[in-house]
A and B are shown apart, each in its own frame.
Chain A
Amino acid sequence: AQSVTQPDIHITVSEGASLELRCNYSYGATPYLFWYVQSPGQGLQLLLKYFSGDTLVQGIKGFEAEFKRSQSSFNLRKPSVHWSDAAEYFCAVGASTGTASKLTFGTGTRLQVTL
């Protein structure tokens, strides 16, 4: 069974500082990996995804993530955080069920940005 671990429940960074959110996954085959962001009371917005190819993927809002198979990791990074980045971030691994992937989510990391 697939699983995702986000070891950091809560992270606080200063505006302008760099950010790295950790994600480790467990999956028997080549994973489909995703990062989503959720603002309070809202649904999830896709930041980026990895399916194959280049292990460094670029996403929206200046985010990037690197797939490291040897470490079973897919960490999310941003070089300079903005106050508007404060939100909940979820890493997810997908198992294709045809045309849509059944996702397993991590427990999330809440990002707080101080001014």
Chain B
Amino acid sequence: GAVVSQHPSWVICKSGTSVKIECRSLDFQATTMFWYRQFPKQSLMLMATSNEGSKATYEQGVEKDKFLINHASLTLSTLTVTSAHPEDSSFYICSAGGTSVFGEQYFGPGTRLTVT
């Protein structure tokens, strides 16, 4: 149980275009989903927290107009990188929180974005 999927697992896009990454909780309802960014050989940096049906809460320094997050249902959240630039190239990981009051998160396998 507690499986989270991400799609695509790997994407290459041209500078100036937008790309959407999907995060799905497959066997549980995720009230809250988190989006992280990870640079090579570094830790995970929380970008934003999204709750189903409401606007995402972005961490300081994260551009909300560039990284659009939508959490339209209890099983799906999307991250859209708008007008992508090479510096947006990174590994993006989502996680989903279930109904546990102790705050466990279940992580997706990640999406590697390369902007050329």
| Interface residues of A, Cβ cutoff 8 Å to B | 32, 34, 36, 41-46, 49, 51, 90, 94-108, 110
Is B99 engaged at the interface, CB distance under 8 Å to the other chain? yes
The 3 closest A-B pairs by CB, nearest first: A101-B103, A100-B97, A100-B32
Additional 15 contacts, C-beta under 8 A, given A100-B32, A101-B97, A107-B42: A32-B102, A41-B112, A43-B4, A94-B102, A95-B103, A96-B102, A96-B103, A98-B31, A99-B32, A99-B100, A99-B103, A100-B49, A104-B46, A108-B42, A110-B41
* A-B CB contacts (within 8 Å), total count: 81
> Smallest Cβ distance from A10 to chain B, in angstroms?
10
DSSP class of A's interface residues: helix, strand, loop or mixed? Answer: strand
Q: How many Å lie between the Cα of A44 and that of B4 in the bound state? A: 11
- In the complex, chain B residues whose CB is within 8 Å of the CB of A41: 91, 110, 112
Q: List 17 A-B contacts (CB under 8 A).
A: A43-B4, A43-B108, A44-B107, A51-B102, A94-B102, A96-B103, A98-B32, A99-B32, A99-B98, A99-B100, A100-B103, A101-B103, A102-B46, A102-B103, A103-B103, A103-B105, A110-B41
